[in-house]
């Protein structure tokens, strides 16, 4: 059982936006600004796309954005492209450990 709650699936047409939520507790998401998001394509290692709630690593398109309100973090993918179809995981630091969500499968219709 994952510590962070994500919807199992989300979808959108090319060009549309999709937002994925990630709900935790005061001990993790709500307790610090160390939320990160990962994109994973089948057979590949996870790739960091958002760190520290809203920062983008070099090379990640600005179509990806992150935010947080209380115990819920969100990832928004704007202007969906076919290559955005993947599994997305959130993660939060929780004091001395890290917790992940179970992942959200994003389908580009």
Cα-based distances in Å from 108 to 15, 40, 87, 103: 10, 15, 12, 16
Rg over CA atoms, the chain = 13
Phi and psi at residue 68, in whole multiples of 5°? Answer: -150, 140
Shortest Å distance, C-beta 29 to other proteins? 12
* Least gap, CB of 14 to other proteins (angstroms): 25
For other proteins, the binding residues (CB under 8 A) are 2, 32-36, 38, 45-48, 50-53, 55, 57, 87, 89, 91, 93, 96-100, 102-103
**Residue 64 or 89: which CB sits closer to other proteins?**
89
């Amino acid at each position: 059982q994952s510590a962070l709650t994500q919807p199992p699936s989300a979808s959108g047409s090319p060009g549309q936006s999709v937002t994925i939520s990630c709900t935790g507790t005061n001990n993790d998401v709500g307790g610090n600004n160390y939320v990160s998001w990962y994109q994973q394509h089948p057979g590949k290692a996870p790739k960091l796309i958002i760190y520290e709630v809203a920062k983008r690593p070099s090379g990640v398109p600005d179509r990806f954005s992150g935010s947080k309100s209380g115990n819920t973090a969100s990832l928004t993918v704007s202007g969906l492209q076919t290559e955005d179809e993947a599994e997305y995981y959130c993660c939060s630091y929780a004091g001395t450990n890290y917790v992940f969500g179970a992942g959200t499968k994003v389908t580009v219709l």
